Amino acid sequence: MIEFQDVVKQYNTQTAIDDISFTIGEAEVCVLIGPSGCGKTTSLKLINRMLEPSSGAVLLNGKPVGSFNPEQLRRGIGYVIQSVGLLPHMNVAENVGIVPRLLKWERSRREKRTDELLDLIGLDPGLYRGKYPAQLSGGEAQRIGVARALAADPPVLLMDEPFGAVDPLNREILQLEFAVLQRKLRKTVVFVTHDLDEAIRLADTVVIMKDGRIVQQGQPADILAHPADNFVRQFVGADRALKRLACFQVVDHMQSAETIPREQTAKRQQAPNGDGGQHPVLWVTNADHALVGMLEPDPDHHSAVAYRPYVELHADEVGVRPVASLREALSRILGQGLRAAPVISEEGMVLGEVRLSDIEELNQRGIAR
Ligand SMILES: Nc1ncnc2c1ncn2[C@@H]1O[C@H](COP(=O)(O)OP(=O)(O)OP(=O)(O)O)[C@@H](O)[C@H]1O
Ligand SMILES: [Mg+2]
């Protein structure tokens, strides 16, 4: 879809991009990350011809972007610029409608599209279309910036630190919204960030840059497992094993779980300890099959009974959803002092469990020292 071929970009004597080559597949989210000044924004601008390379070429669908008329090219490429860039004298509807207006869509079509996009990004059109940028929170302004880039439904989206200006909590909300949106829209996205956790959360592939060069590219989990050099090792941090767990979903690492109805707990708990403490956790459910407690195996091999006394549990506190990451599962497991976390459906039913031993094994297998 997008390909950089031996691209060099010089500003006068300074080399901002120093011979980079990489490819971004269709419907892929490629995250460019690296220290300030390493050439991320420059790389984006080479894609939509806001800048021309000094040598090499950027291809879009196999054709050099230099062969397209710049205006036509940009219609197919939405751009969310660094620091939002909403025009202060225009209201939300006018800001979102900039590209459709340039494309001379008639008014009713523009208005319909604006309302559709506001719905899409979770802002009530009736409430927001007439607001001015100064009347928006930071997170709302970021969402409008994304809506504006999506206005003409371009297949390619360039996003330059789109959530950089919001506080960490709201940034996480925007990231989750973006992930959901992208599953629906399936754009080819080039996303620039400073934030490694953001990259891990959103990227199909990560390109790590330094001084205008690519130092490593690949899937987040592979980069965290095998940093190419000391720069990447330092960049991803000493807790890369933990960060890597954020790349895996609970649903892919779930084991079957044993459940028993509440009435049977007394009998099961008193059962003799036949095989020396090698029992699974028994998740206890009520008449609606919702998790209400557990019997944990007694680790004392000499104990007469297999399980410790019944413990009441709150599904919200101990359970994880199938879509959660293994990092979340681990924090539940450690937070509760358990050996596994139950995987819970929206209705509170036990779908399976994630075991601490499986998480440990996944790390031991994947991580290079
Ligand atoms: N118009 C320009 N003229 C001269 N040098 C420039 C120009 N724009 C950028 N540069 C230089 O090119 C290098 C790369 O800049 P770029 O904006 O691509 O960095 P970046 O990775 O986006 O940084 P940041 O994370 O701070 O946004 C920097 O050293 C910058 O000073
Ligand atoms: Mg930049």
Domain co-membership, 148 together with 264: no
In a domain, 243, yes or no: no
Domain co-membership, 277 together with 210: no
CATH value at residue 166 = 3.40.50.300
CA distance 174 to 281: 37
Tell me the residue range of the domain where 303 lies.
251-366
- Structure confidence by residue, pLDDT tens digits, 111-157: 999 999 999 888 999 999 999 999 988 888 888 988 998 888 999 99
Q: φ and ψ at 347, to 5 degrees?
A: -85, 0
pLDDT value at residue 353: 96
Domain co-membership, 199 together with 159: yes
pLDDT value at residue 275: 62
Domain co-membership, 342 together with 280: yes
Domain co-membership, 234 together with 258: no
Domain co-membership, 225 together with 293: no
Report CA torsion sign: 105, 110, 113, 117.
Answer: positive
Q: Region of 146 please: left (phi>0), alpha (psi -120 to 50) or beta.
A: alpha
For residue 66 the two structure tokens come to 């230099």
Domain co-membership, 98 together with 225: yes
Residue to substitute in 18, 38, 52, 190 for testing ligand 1 pocket (most ligand atoms within 8 angstroms of CB): 38
Residue with tokens 């130092």: 215
Domain co-membership, 261 together with 221: no
Residue where a domain terminates, one of 238, 263, 283 = 238
For residue 315 the two structure tokens come to 């599904």
Residue to substitute in 15, 40, 52, 190 for testing ligand 1 pocket (most ligand atoms within 8 angstroms of CB): 40
State the CB neighbour count (10 A cutoff) for residue 305. 15
pLDDT value at residue 32: 97
Predicted TM-score (pTM) of this structure? 0.84
Return the half-sphere exposure (C-beta side, CA atoms, 13 A cut-off) of residue 46. 28
Structural domains of the chain, count:
2
Q: Return the residue whose CA atom lies nearest to atom 7 of ligand 1.
A: 11
Residues of the chain with pLDDT under 70: 83-84, 275-277, 367-369
Domain co-membership, 279 together with 192: no
Q: Return the residue whose CA atom lies nearest to atom 6 of ligand 1.
A: 11
pLDDT value at residue 277: 53
β partners of residue 252: none
Q: For residue 350, what is the enclosing H or E element?
A: strand 350-355
State the CB neighbour count (10 A cutoff) for residue 50. 15
